[in-house]
Amino acid sequence: MKDGPRTAMVLAAGLGKRMRPLTDTKPKPLIEIAGKTLLDRGLDALARAGVEQAVVNVHYLGGQIVAHTAGRSSPAVTISDETDQLLDSAGGIVRALPLLGGDPFFVLNADTFWIDGDLANLQRLALAWDGARMDILLMLARLEDATGHSGTTDFLLDGEGRLSRAKGAPHGLIYAGAAIVHPRIFEGASAQPHSLNAYFDRAIAAGRLFGMAMQGHWITVGTPDAVAEAEAAIVRHGGS
């Protein structure tokens, strides 16, 4: 699958409480950073990686996302409606599995984005994917290459690319909100609220969670104050 996944799951159903008052009237994925919504930044990155179909889950003010993506063709957007119940990261994916198909797919958080290096990072992720060894492949960012991150590190990367939990180790890496996942990991799972973190831990235990350090600069937008920081980082790192 060296040409990369053709489908993607975009996680856009969160409540965005930390972004209030900006999210009082619009969902967080539709917040604009330097004139482009967070959601469109993610969808544009998927399009550059050759993704043809993106499933976007919605909950809070989901009608706005439905309307915003209605005319999109690259990638084409299918909505997975969670208006009845917010399902968290893994539950949302499980509900959307019939739309995603049986092949590995990208998973993308709708509230982070990045400025690519020489080769688009999602293309690099696709090139690094090896389904014989991997169940999940995470894109990771270095602390020094991140804007807006207020937490610690998430994972340690060994010489073969396998991951373990960093537990805040200063030389660890941040999960950058992008991954390739094989749908087999969800076999038998139900579409109830639960997190992807449980699947990360299972894959670690099986030696099948891998990571790739991204090139370029990673940006996360968690609070209203982070909008100006993000826009300054775009200018500083030559993005648009």
Per-residue pLDDT, 168: 85
CA triple 103-12-74, angle to 5 deg:
60
For 160-214, how does the pLDDT look when each residue is reduced to its tens digit (9 = 90+)?
999 999 998 989 999 999 999 999 999 999 899 899 999 999 999 999 999 999 9
Distance CA(200)–CA(98), nearest Å, equals 22
How confident is the model over 59-87, as a mean pLDDT?
A: 93
The β-bridge relationship of strands 155-157 and 146-147 is: unpaired
Per-residue pLDDT, 118: 77
Per-residue pLDDT, 1: 41
Single-letter amino acid, residue 129: W
For 95-118, how does the pLDDT look when each residue is reduced to its tens digit (9 = 90+)?
999 999 999 999 999 988 999 987
> How confident is the prediction for the chain on average, in pLDDT?
94
How confident is the model over 81-100, as a mean pLDDT?
A: 93
Record the pTM: 0.95
- The second-level CATH assignment, the architecture, of 7-236 is Alpha-Beta Complex (3.90)
3-state secondary structure 91-102: HHHHHHHHHHCC
Per-residue pLDDT, 76: 96
Name the pLDDT band for 150 (thresholds 50, 70, 90). confident
Q: Is the pLDDT of residue 2 over 70?
A: no
